[in-house]
Structure 1
């Protein structure tokens, strides 16, 4: 089911065995439905490679990765070009991790990968699960170019099974009018900003299992240009790290980071930021 990578290609600080881990990291190198620039299939390996440029120790949290047990199991083998079969494989991987009483941390890949992961988490925790979504885009289209499964429809496919009032969106600044109208009526969408609305919502999220999905394009392309659909006027890299930190204390049951497309960023700053977000998430949230 999972294809194990060589040690040198694992994320910084990964332990050596699956059984001893509390958190399992998995790469989902899929980008079959992207609407502008492809390349996010290369995101997981790029993030792993650049993770060795940062430290295991977080000065923000005064903790180090050697204080937790997480295992990077490598990338899933996905059938190129088949979104449906790939989503099935991703969902099975997430279910296996959850059934082993471990928490999933997935690296994408396009945002559509979140759908089967959240569905697996939903099946474990039932309707009590809440979704925190950081993104530049609403991802609420019912279909895109005639396709129900698209990275532009990821959150809409999630609310096919998750109550829409359980979805909290932050940093949204792009989409068609119908998406914003839908969110206004049924969901909790906070346009443009991340930190201040998140602080106000922490009370609503406490006491519930929470899944976090983070599209790197929530961050302004000045800080993270290596993504398929960059959108100006996003948050800073410091703000997204602070957002991770202030969610300490919530019952986080899973996390994914998606849409890093390294070929558009020769400096690797997008992948390095993603690696740092993952380090802080591992230390703060689990």
Structure 2
């Protein structure tokens, strides 16, 4: 497979995407996978919906004082996955991420469920090693050993990361749901900041100011009142404003990869969840030119 050999489907581009992979510094890949969703499926429709609604926001970001029209980024479209084949799909995702990284470009992946982050982060870690910091915004700890006997589950995505990178390099923000064992593991192994996002980010960001940083953002970190289009909504979350502020704060650092996951359009007739995701993606793209 490869980014240039017809293994993608693209019907609508994210706004202002250029037509050349070679010229782009940022490469966007949609991953329409929700094979292991534990509550409500539908995140396979997330990447395309985010693209569709992107036309509803401005190319100019007042937060960044930058404009997408001044950037070269390429939207590959959605990966063509072997439906229902979790291991095969993860391999394809990893191959795509590896090619983007090998070509010296910034990987930006849109889910899909949170499990899609694992092969992407693995490839980023292969490049940066133990210097890599992973920042997780999420309602759920995602630290289960497995879910109903399945090790590869969106409920265990972050636990899978600890099998190939130091757990102490993982910072978890906004977490407000998980099993007793997950929280026990997190308090012992990762950096856990439950409930809040912006204030703890401000307090600890100096710890990784000079490190390469990968952000994995599960949209359910936001309260369902602001982002109800997700498969496992969890009341008691942060506002969309707080998330935008936190992402923009971190984007001043050395971000080397990004994914946004768990947007599930069937549960949001207003499209406000997808619009929030599109706005965050825009600012992440704009942040790559320091």
Q: Give TM-score, length-normalised by structure 2.
A: 0.96
Answering whether residue 36 of structure 2 is matched by residue 33 of structure 1, we say yes
- Cα deviation for residue 248 of structure 1 reads 3.0
Task: Provide, for residues 188-237 of structure 1, a one-character-per-residue CA deviation record: whole Å limited to 9, x for no partner.
Answer: 01000000000111101111111000000000000000000000111101
Hey, what's the Cα distance between the residues in 2 that align with 1:211 and 1:203?
A: 15
1:90 corresponds to which residue?
Answer: 93
**Where does structure 2 lack aligned partners over 5 or more consecutive residues?**
none
1:191 corresponds to which residue?
Answer: 194
- Aligned ranges 1:207-246 → 2 under 5 Å: 207-246=210-249
- Cα deviation for residue 73 of structure 1 reads 0.6
Partner of residue 132 from structure 1, selected from 109, 132, 135: 135
Hey, what's the Cα distance between the residues in 1 that align with 2:216 and 2:175?
A: 13
Hey, what's the Cα distance between the residues in 2 that align with 1:107 and 1:226?
A: 15
2:163 corresponds to which residue?
Answer: 160
Hey, what's the Cα distance between the residues in 2 that align with 1:160 and 1:139?
A: 14
Answering whether residue 255 of structure 2 is matched by residue 252 of structure 1, we say yes
- Aligned ranges 1:1-286 → 2 under 5 Å: 1-2=2-3, 3-6=7-10, 9-286=12-289
Q: How many residues align?
A: 285
Hey, what's the Cα distance between the residues in 1 that align with 2:71 and 2:167?
A: 33
Hey, what's the Cα distance between the residues in 2 that align with 1:33 and 1:249?
A: 34
- Cα deviation for residue 284 of structure 1 reads 2.7
- Cα deviation for residue 282 of structure 1 reads 1.3
Hey, what's the Cα distance between the residues in 2 that align with 1:153 and 1:40?
A: 17
Q: CA RMSD in A?
A: 1.0
Matched position secondary structure for 1:153: helix
Q: Give TM-score, length-normalised by structure 1.
A: 0.98
Contact 1:13 1:66 in 2 (8 A): yes
Contact 1:250 1:285 in 2 (8 A): no
